[in-house]
Amino acid sequence: MSKLTREFVKKALDAQSVWDLGNEVLYKLCRDHPGHSDDDAIIAKTLLIGRVYAASLERRRKADVKGDEFYTKQVTSVFRTSEMDRWLQSLKEDAGGSPQKAIEIHKKLTDLLRSITNFDNRSFASKYLHFHFPTRFYIFDNRADKSASKLAKLDRGRNRSGNTDPKYAEFCARCDQLSNLIQGLIGRVPSPREVDKVLLHWEGDRIRGQVRTRNLD
């Protein structure tokens, strides 16, 4: 994990800050409407988070549900009758901030989403939960996962058991390692969103490097 430097981390945090205002809109939406009893709030949160973060639920929806009814009838019904609010309340009451509890709730949400889409919405689940609990959930997608596997060596001794999604649990273990490294470089604990900024900037640099190499050929 010696690939990162203080200069790179600072550059990544600065370069990715252009998205901070848009993210704050989503954080505020979830702060103002944390529950899942009102259809309009459920639609706003699932639709906006999914589309802004390229993880829209409708991309994988069941074929028999068409148009707006996917959100107005199916998504709202499943979320409203689920135990989502009880899961989120258990996180609020978890004073110790257990990583195990967080990834178990992530698994509960992916299972719930599978009943809507017949698909493993691991990325959406991480993003949806992140905006409700910004300090508890790392943001998963294929780009971040690719960078995490390059930057952090997985500590097998920290494998989390229980009812978890193994791929997300492994990703979180790598992000924990990366968070410790970043802390040593900048002198403070980075937020999950800041870890995400570093991961995305690393992947962006890799892609830009490939483009430059091709242009020189």
**pLDDT one-digit tens code per residue, 155-178:** 665 555 668 999 999 999 999 999
**Per-position b or e across 30-58, b if 16+ CB within 10 A of its CB:** beebeebeebebbbbbbbbbbebbebbbb
Q: Within 10 Å of residue 142's Cβ, how many Cβ atoms?
A: 10
Structural domain boundaries enclosing 204:
6-216
Mean pLDDT, the chain, as a whole number?
89
Above 70 in pLDDT, residue 118? yes
Q: Is 1 part of any domain?
A: no
> What is the rounded average pLDDT of the residues 144-152?
94
The predicted model scores a pTM of: 0.90
Above 80 in pLDDT, residue 207? no
> What is the rounded average pLDDT of the residues 120-144?
97
Q: How confident is the model at residue 217 (pLDDT cuts 50, 70, 90)?
A: very low
**Per-position b or e across 84-108, b if 16+ CB within 10 A of its CB:** beebbeebeeeeeeebebbbbbbbb
- The whole-number pLDDT of residue 67 equals 78
Distance CA 177, CA 159 (A): 13
- The whole-number pLDDT of residue 95 equals 86
Above 60 in pLDDT, residue 56? yes
Q: How confident is the model at residue 208 (pLDDT cuts 50, 70, 90)?
A: low
**Number of domains observed in the structure of the chain:** 1
> What percent of the chain clears pLDDT 70, i.e. is strictly above it?
87
Q: Is 84 part of any domain?
A: yes
Q: Is 98 part of any domain?
A: yes
pLDDT, tens digit (0-9, with 9 covering 90-100), for 59-79: 766 556 677 889 999 999 999
CA distances from 45 to 3, 61, 167, 196 (A): 37, 17, 25, 20
Q: Is 48 part of any domain?
A: yes
Q: Is 166 part of any domain?
A: yes
